[in-house]
């Protein structure tokens, strides 16, 4: 067996939009282009292509349609005040996509730099439509799924054929969270015990489609999303598709930022979560000051379980100083209210939540240099280059 | 809002295979036709169509691709020695599909008789290729999934557009289980604690794609499938995609057929499982004799949890008299061996397992009349009728 072809950015085949291109009705808010990279088990990665956004075709028995063999990522492309395009820590998303893909028996071997070059070209093409206001962006949805028949009993669990693609869309989440600027009263959550999002030995820590569609129906009118509980202790796992933090006054005078540990395999390892932990920890340890003014010195990050009874008792004794969700979609958003067992609990607001949000969005839009290289500057792409010259015949 | 259109078999649009029809390479084992029925939230069910099997197209952000909003059924069409076509308890599958669809926010309101008429026409077209030997059949895969964008935060959890389709394939499972005739040593199972298939509050009792792709990778070489465990007691939920029974000698002299209760929401309510329970219970209660000779009178069906430690202790004290899996794919199959915590356990064979299998396959192929109307005879379809005359414009 010949070695599998690696994923190669240099073999990109680019098809410009034809002069007659018309955006289909209802698709006006999407990016005009799409990146696709086929894979098969015999030959490896096929030719990457960038062409007009279009529908994808699958055999009726394809693994993605029958057995939910699909995983994805959420990323955003920001435009700076200079007009540069930026991606935020794309290597973190690529590594997580590898981990999700491995969990599903999908290909998970590629050079992140090659993939980044292709992503950069895709977003460079969309530069004219990437918005440049605070809180707006071009949202990228990398998706990796099984296109081969995922049917019946296979000899092993690995896909025969797969497709990695990236679709983009504008302004996702804009206006959905009236309080998502960190001011106001914050979002309302409905604590849910009827549907359990994740459990030990399950897939809660992987970004699989299967984790999302199965819990869609729990959303109640009037609430932004569900607060997922698990275990007889009513531990919190996530809220909607966000990681959750509480801010709590500790007995030793420190202000604690507490979030669930990743150890149980129940919580998604969020990129915003990681970044907040790192910024706060390095600030607390005196390694690197928090990028914006106003973060107290005596803070501490704690990763451990948080239960609804703890939230309630901390509210009662006054030690709960705030609660927020974080993720690529929402960035950082205040939780203002929780409905739990028929009671409504109001969570105190905290100006530090807005500080966290302003810090992350500032880094993402290139206004704050945090000194760690988190913001990737997308190179300009001269599409008059060699791309688009040769379409390879990909062995199917 | 005008009332939603119901699913109507009489509006079927049938497109015969063109004379030039060529089966695509690699698709020779599939049925030549496919049934599709679109649905949308504004207008309800659209026009059912039967036409040549073909690829399905989806927006890159469709709910099925992004969030695994897909559920399915497994059914078989059998040919009797007279050449009749039969379906086995199709109403059970239709009801379960409704239940799965409701769990995912997909449409779940239709008249089963209308759906059955469409299924019957689809399989009637395939009559020439439905095999007529014992253990073979045309496998039907009804699938219901979200075609609309399942992206971002929606106001509620219900799909805007969906598609119900049926693809068929020949001889699924044939030869995969050398012991599936109930003789021989039985299949080997690998008891799995690393991946947990289902948990309370999850989706284990629904036939969702998400339950299957997420555990594919646990399959070990040399084993037919995984035996799914859950809880610290190492309770068994299912094996692969089968329900599980053990046969055990009770102290009062009765032979017990023990299978997991449906109460915890962890186990799929299998049609074969239901049917075996009914046949055995009515036999034990004296209501209706077991269809084939050889079933003892002193039997009892028990629905309760079974743990691996119970299997081991029952092996040691000699009360374990057999173990089998059941489901549409395998019908009834002997479990011969379990690998658990580094030990191999050999399960005793039991001729009653073959009796169960012969009974179910006999009913399915119309050789045994169990007197309950479980075997649906597919009417012949004169395709020279009115179908194919008018293609409706379906409001999208």
Which residues on A lie below 8 Å from B202 (Cβ)? 195-196, 199, 202, 214
Looking at residue B3, what is its pLDDT?
Answer: 81
Which residues on B lie below 8 Å from A329 (Cβ)? 152
- Kindly state whether residues A200 and A349 are assigned to the same domain: yes
Looking at residue B180, what is its pLDDT?
Answer: 44
Count residue pairs from A and B with Cβ separation < 8 A. Answer: 195
Asked if the model's pLDDT at residue B327 lies above 90, the reply is yes
Asked if the model's pLDDT at residue B152 lies above 80, the reply is no
Asked if the model's pLDDT at residue B47 lies above 50, the reply is yes
Give residue B234's domain range: 177-365
**How far out from the chain centre does Cα B56 lie?**
22
Residue with tokens 């395999």: A265
**Closest chain B CA to residue A156:** B219
Which residues on A lie below 8 Å from B194 (Cβ)? 201
The band of B185, judged by pLDDT with boundaries at 50, 70 and 90, is confident
The band of B175, judged by pLDDT with boundaries at 50, 70 and 90, is very low
Asked if the model's pLDDT at residue B319 lies above 70, the reply is yes
Three-class DSSP category at A375: strand
Asked if the model's pLDDT at residue B186 lies above 80, the reply is yes
- Kindly state whether residues B224 and B314 are assigned to the same domain: yes
Rounded distance, CA A356 to CA A329, Å?
15
Looking at residue A181, what is its pLDDT?
Answer: 43
- Kindly state whether residues B196 and B122 are assigned to the same domain: no
Which H or E element spans position B243? strand B243-249
Which residues on B lie below 8 Å from A221 (Cβ)? 156
The band of B181, judged by pLDDT with boundaries at 50, 70 and 90, is very low
Looking at residue A200, what is its pLDDT?
Answer: 87
Rounded distance, CA B35 to CA B115, Å?
11
Partner residue opposite A34 with nearest CB, options B34, B60, B199? B60
- Kindly state whether residues A218 and A276 are assigned to the same domain: yes
- Kindly state whether residues B190 and B71 are assigned to the same domain: no
**Closest chain B CA to residue A26:** B149
Rounded distance, CA B346 to CA B312, Å?
10
- Indicate which CATH number applies to the domain containing B155: 3.30.470.10
Q: What is the pTM of this model?
A: 0.94
Asked if the model's pLDDT at residue B154 lies above 90, the reply is no
Residues of chain A with pLDDT under 50: 173-182, 386, 389, 393-396
Beta bridge partners of A37: A164
Contact B213 A146 (CB under 8 A): yes
Which residues on B lie below 8 Å from A34 (Cβ)? 60
Partner residue opposite B210 with nearest CB, options A196, A200, A214? A214
Give this complex's ipTM: 0.94
Closest Cα to residue A226, out of A192, A277, A178? A192
CA-based nearest distance B55→chain A, Å: 5
Contact A58 B59 (CB under 8 A): no
A89: left (phi over 0), alpha (psi -120 to 50) or beta: left
Contact B67 A212 (CB under 8 A): yes
What digits encode the pLDDT tens for the residues B56-106?
A: 999 999 999 999 999 999 999 999 999 999 999 999 999 999 999 999 999
Residue ending a domain, among B172, B201, B219, is: B172
Looking at residue B55, what is its pLDDT?
Answer: 97
Residue ending a domain, among A129, A146, A172, is: A172
- Kindly state whether residues A243 and A343 are assigned to the same domain: yes
CA-based nearest distance A190→chain B, Å: 14
What digits encode the pLDDT tens for the residues B92-139?
A: 999 999 999 999 999 999 999 999 999 999 999 999 999 988 778 999
The answer to whether residue B306 sits within a structural domain is yes
Q: What is the DSSP letter of A340?
A: E
Partner residue opposite B68 with nearest CB, options A59, A202, A214? A214
Which residues on A lie below 8 Å from B59 (Cβ)? 27, 55-56
- Kindly state whether residues A149 and A242 are assigned to the same domain: no
Closest Cα to residue B306, out of B355, B352, B347? B347
B227 and B190 Cβ atoms separated by less than 8 Å: yes
Mean pLDDT of chain B: 91
Residue ending a domain, among A116, A138, A172, is: A172
Looking at residue A26, what is its pLDDT?
Answer: 84
Contact B221 A55 (CB under 8 A): no
- Kindly state whether residues A202 and A53 are assigned to the same domain: no
Number of domains in chain A: 2
Rounded distance, CA A363 to CA A373, Å?
10
The answer to whether residue A234 sits within a structural domain is yes
Contact B105 A216 (CB under 8 A): yes
Farthest-apart Cα atoms in chain A, separation:
69
Asked if the model's pLDDT at residue B169 lies above 60, the reply is yes
- Kindly state whether residues B98 and B17 are assigned to the same domain: yes
Residue with tokens 């919580």: A267
- Kindly state whether residues A201 and A325 are assigned to the same domain: yes
* Mean pLDDT across B192-221: 89
CA-based nearest distance A225→chain B, Å: 9
Three-class DSSP category at B55: coil
Buried b (16+ CB within 10 A) or exposed e, A370-383: beeebbbebeebee
Three-class DSSP category at A198: coil
Contact A218 B172 (CB under 8 A): no
Looking at residue A151, what is its pLDDT?
Answer: 65
Contact A104 B68 (CB under 8 A): no
The answer to whether residue B265 sits within a structural domain is yes
The answer to whether residue B384 sits within a structural domain is no
End-to-end CA distance of chain B: 15
Rounded distance, CA B254 to CA B69, Å?
45
Rounded distance, CA A7 to CA A47, Å?
8
What digits encode the pLDDT tens for the residues A116-158?
A: 999 999 999 999 999 988 778 999 999 999 999 876 556 677 8
Which residue, among A53, A140, A151, A209, would best test binding to B if mutated, counting the most B CBs under 10 Å from its CB?
Answer: A209
- Kindly state whether residues A165 and A274 are assigned to the same domain: no
Contact B143 A60 (CB under 8 A): yes
Contact A141 B203 (CB under 8 A): no
- Kindly state whether residues B361 and B254 are assigned to the same domain: yes
Rounded distance, CA B8 to CA B175, Å?
38
What digits encode the pLDDT tens for the residues B235-287?
A: 999 999 999 999 999 999 999 999 999 998 999 999 999 999 999 999 999 99
- Indicate which CATH number applies to the domain containing B341: 3.20.10.10
Asked if the model's pLDDT at residue B177 lies above 60, the reply is no
């Amino acid at each position: 067996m010949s070695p599998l072809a690696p994923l190669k950015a240099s073999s990109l085949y680019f098809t410009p939009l034809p002069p007659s291109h018309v955006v289909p009705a209802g698709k006006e808010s999407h990016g005009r282009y799409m990146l696709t990279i086929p894979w098969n088990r015999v030959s490896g990665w096929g030719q990457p292509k960038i062409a007009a956004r279009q529908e994808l075709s699958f055999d009726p028995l394809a693994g993605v349609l029958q057995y939910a063999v699909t995983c994805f990522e959420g990323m955003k492309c920001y435009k700076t005040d200079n007009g540069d395009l930026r991606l935020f820590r794309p290597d973190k998303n690529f590594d997580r996509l590898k981990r999700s893909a491995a969990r599903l028996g999908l290909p998970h071997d590629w050079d992140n730099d090659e993939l980044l070059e292709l992503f950069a070209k895709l977003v460079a093409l969309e530069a004219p439509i990437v918005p440049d206001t605070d809180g707006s962006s071009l949202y990228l949805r990398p998706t990796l799924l099984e296109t081969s028949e995922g049917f019946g009993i296979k000899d092993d669990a690995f896909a025969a054929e797969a497709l990695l693609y990236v679709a983009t869309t504008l302004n996702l989440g804009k206006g959905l969270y009236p309080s998502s600027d960190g001011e106001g009263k914050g979002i309302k959550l409905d604590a849910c015990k009827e549907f359990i999002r994740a459990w030990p030995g399950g897939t809660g820590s992987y970004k699989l489609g299967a984790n999302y569609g199965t819990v869609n129906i729990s959303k109640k009118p009037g609430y932004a999303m569900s607060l997922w509980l698990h275990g007889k202790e009513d531990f919190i796992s996530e809220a909607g598709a966000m990681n959750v933090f509480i801010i709590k006054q500790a007995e030793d005078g420190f202000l604690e930022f507490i979030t669930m540990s990743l150890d149980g395999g129940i919580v998604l390892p969020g990129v915003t979560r990681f970044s907040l932990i790192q910024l706060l920890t390095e600030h607390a340890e005196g390694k690197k000051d928090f990028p914006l003014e106003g973060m107290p010195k005596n803070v501490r990050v704690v990763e451990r379980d948080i239960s609804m009874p703890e939230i309630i008792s901390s509210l009662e004794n006054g030690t709960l100083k705030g609660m927020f969700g974080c993720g690529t979609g929402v960035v950082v958003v205040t939780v203002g209210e929780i409905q739990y067992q028929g009671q409504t609990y109001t969570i105190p607001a905290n100006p530090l939540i807005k500080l966290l949000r302003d810090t992350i969005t500032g880094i993402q839009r290139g206004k704050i240099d945090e000194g760690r290289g988190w913001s990737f500057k997308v190179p300009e792409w001269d599409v008059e280059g060699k791309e688009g010259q040769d379409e390879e015949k990909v062995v199917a």
